[in-house]
Amino acid sequence: DGGITQSPKYLFRKEGQNVTLSCEQNLNHDAMYWYRQDPGQGLRLIYYSQIVNDFQKGDIAEGYSVSREKKESFPLTVTSAQKNPTAFYLCASTALGGLAFRADTQYFGPGTRLTVL
Amino acid sequence: GDSVTQMEGPVTLSEEAFLTINCTYTATGYPSLFWYVQYPGEGLQLLLKATKADDKGSNKGFEATYRKETTSFHLEKGSVQVSDSAVYFCAPRSGQAGTALIFGKGTTLSVSS
């Protein structure tokens, strides 16, 4: 079945550590996204990538880094510079191109819950 | 910048009640509009979408109409079920951030039997 997988489901980090969240999709989608979800604040965009080896900062990129070496993979690293990383992280992807690109659905993974100890 | 406003929750209803969740937006140009649903501990799933003015999106008994004149996309369902309990997000597709969606804060719906 096609879809988006995120791992791990739960992740615990000690203060000062970097951690990497995995996101893989087999939908052959061009664009991928990382969102952060906090209670009462909805989803906020961290980074997005529309093509391999290129990515753009979203609204809250500070303290995070990404790479896009393969079309199907878009890992997110939460660095020690992120002062409040405890949150639910969601990865998404969508196809691009064609006249109907604005209507393309964004598909989401199941999420990773990160907790700082 | 682009933004979306949803009615504050939680919304608490009895089974078979009528549901309305209001959503208004500001966005560049004429965005496509989406409603997503999130069940506890899960990612988001597309519920319905509309791509141009006066379009009506519908799915699983839920409906929403793209109202350009009022920049609104209110979600409705005639008879809710306990299984509809979830968080609902309204999201226009922003022209400023490429194809990224702009999300509201979400509205929590709780349906009791």
Task: Give the DSSP per-residue string, B62-95.
Answer: EEEE-BTTTTB--EEESS--GGG-EEEEEEEBPS
pLDDT at A1 over 70: no
Looking at CA atoms only, how far is residue A79 from chain B in angstroms?
23
pLDDT at A63 over 80: yes
Give the pair of three-digit tokens for residue A34: 């990382």
Predicted local confidence at residue B82, as pLDDT = 96
| Nearest C-alpha neighbor of B64 from the set B84, B34, B30 | B34
- Which of B36, B43, B51 is opposite residue A111, by nearest beta carbon? B43
Cβ-based contacts of A43 with chain B (< 8 Å): 44, 89, 101, 103
Rounded to whole angstroms, how far apart are CA atoms A46 and A30? 17
pLDDT category, A101, cuts 50, 70, 90?
A: low
Predicted local confidence at residue A35, as pLDDT = 97
- 3-state class (DSSP) for residue A46: strand
Rounded to whole angstroms, how far apart are CA atoms A17 and A116? 9
First-to-last C-alpha distance (Å) of chain B: 41
- How many percent of chain A have pLDDT more than 90? 69
Is the minimum CB–CB distance between A54 and chain B shorter than 8 Å?
no
Cβ-based contacts of B100 with chain A (< 8 Å): 33, 45, 48, 58
pLDDT at A105 over 70: yes
- Greatest mean pLDDT among A1-5, A12-16, B71-75, B95-99: B71-75
For chain B, 113 residues long, give each residue's pLDDT as a single digit of tens. Answer: 778 999 888 999 999 999 999 999 998 777 889 999 999 888 999 999 998 899 999 999 999 999 999 999 999 999 999 999 999 999 998 664 457 888 988 999 999 99
pLDDT at A99 over 70: no
- Which of B34, B43, B49 is opposite residue A110, by nearest beta carbon? B43
- 3-state class (DSSP) for residue A7: strand
